[in-house]
Amino acid sequence: MTPSNPNNDAKNKNSAWGGRFESGPAELAARYSASVAIDQGLWREDIDGSLAHAAMLCAQGNISKNELEAITTGLNAIAAEIAAGTFVFKSELEDVHMNIESALIARIGDPGRKLHTARSRNDQVATDTRLWVLRAIDQLCGTIVSLQKVFVDRAGHEKTTIIPAYTHLQRAQPVLLSHWLLAWVEKFERDHSRLLDTRRRVSVSPLGSAAVAGTSISIDREMTRKALGFDSVSRNSLDATSDRDFAVEFVFDLALIGVHLSSLAEDWILWSTTEFGFVRIADQWCTGSSIMPQKRNPDMLELMRGKSARVIGSLQTLLVLLKGLPTAYNRDLQEDKAPMFDAFETVLESLKVITEVARSIEFRRERMAESLNSGFMDATTLMETLIRNQVPMRTAHEVVGTLVKTAEKTGKQLSELTDAELSSAATGIRTEVLRAALGPARAVAAFSSAGSTGLASVEKQLEWWKATLASR
């Protein structure tokens, strides 16, 4: 005899827990608690998890092969409808899980009611969310690699172009533009590496943990782990259903990517100004003014700088969400998806935009070269020349500082000082030795340490990155 079906009770619309209650939730409560508008983004992961769970239930003798076939056929049909945009999600069914399960039961009857055997929505949503994050990480990593390749390609074409490097937003030392571009490849590499490191902790299957304590029904967690592509299974059911550390870590990775992109956007916003004039951003990534006809505003980069704030806010939201929760699953965790989804979409789109901006940006070499004629950026190289000629570092620093002061007073660059002016401060060292260090090109050529902006070092960096990225 089949037990009474809670769906037949007109007083309660929710088949997940209706038997315990005399009536359904108030209409306002149903609206307030519904999450399907957000978590329907997990539909593919939910169906994949259900397919793996059903196959395991059959292998363990909990459902028959015919029931498995009906469940599989039904879930695949539902997936096709969702993908086509014809499936109707109902807010009264709370979430994506109950929408799919209810649709399955409506199609195939009792076999659909068996699907949730040895499973809770607690371990179900934890599984779906981890699967989603794994796929999001893979997508982000591929996008970052594409961005790195563009930067490496641009570095190869700007291998000998010299630009001012800034500290405290003051001209500091001359560097190769290729070196500057490769610095960003390094930053993106750390982003890529962090995501992969996070991925190891995400790739743990909570499926089979049920609500909080596991299940007394015979299941095979290794089977579902393998089917879903997780690296391992969780060791503790109570922790597995409540853990959202992986979500926080993932959004932290996104926030730091957002910070990097904001900093890069700021550099190029500055460089595109009339005051700098180092770059011209392609028209596709600029907008005009409603009142000033001459304006070319780098709005996409400004938006990128602004959108990083949203991603940082998403991280803050998750941390505050978790900070006061008691052990085990709590409904508060329903609120983890909106900030996580938004942070992911924001960063993914930002990465795509910056890739195209980088591909099309024009480096204005003549203006960059003009900028090298002020700022005494060869001062440090001159100081190191003195050091190599046995002048103590602090003495050499003072000597070059004196020469800079002389140059400022006479309106000259260091390379324009007379032999007498050079000798007056740097006594005992031939002026031709000193002049060999002066000028941006000579200063850049002098750099020889590993990882420096010297051409030999940059060429090694370029070759390493080409080989590394070609293997990905």
Mean pLDDT by 10 residues, the chain (472 residues): 41 57 81 89 98 98 98 98 97 94 97 98 97 98 98 98 96 97 98 98 98 97 98 98 97 98 98 97 94 93 97 98 94 95 98 98 97 93 94 94 94 93 85 92 95 97 98 94
Q: What is the pLDDT of residue 11?
A: 43
Q: What is the pLDDT of residue 10?
A: 38
Q: Is 325 helix (H, G, I), strand (E, B) or coil?
A: coil
Residue with tokens 């997780």: 230
297, 273 contact by CB (below 8 A) = no
Q: What is the pLDDT of residue 3?
A: 44
Q: What is the pLDDT of residue 9?
A: 39
Q: Give, in words, the CATH class of 26-117.
A: mainly alpha
Q: What is the pLDDT of residue 17?
A: 59
Active-site residue flag, 237:
no
Both structure tokens of 258 = 């957002």
In whole angstroms, how far apart are CA 442 and each of 173, 403, 434, 451? 12, 18, 11, 18
CATH code for the part of the protein at 373-462? 1.10.40.30
Reported in sequence order, the residue ranges of 240-307 that DSSP labels E, i.e. its strands, are 279-280
Q: What is the pLDDT of residue 426?
A: 78
Q: What is the pLDDT of residue 26?
A: 85
In terms of CATH architecture, what is 122-370?
Up-down Bundle (1.20)
Q: Catalytic pick from 4, 168, 216, 448?
A: 168
Q: What is the pLDDT of residue 428?
A: 82
What residues form DSSP beta bridges with 189? none
Q: What is the pLDDT of residue 90?
A: 94
Active-site residue flag, 168:
yes
Q: What is the pLDDT of residue 152?
A: 98
Instruction: For the beta carbon of residue 282, count every other beta carbon within 10 angstroms.
Output: 13
- CA atoms of 112 and 57, how far apart (whole Å): 12
- CA atoms of 199 and 149, how far apart (whole Å): 22
Domain boundaries, the chain: 26-117, 122-370, 373-462
- CA atoms of 472 and 468, how far apart (whole Å): 7
Q: Catalytic pick from 23, 218, 289, 374?
A: 289
Write down the pTM of the prediction.
0.92
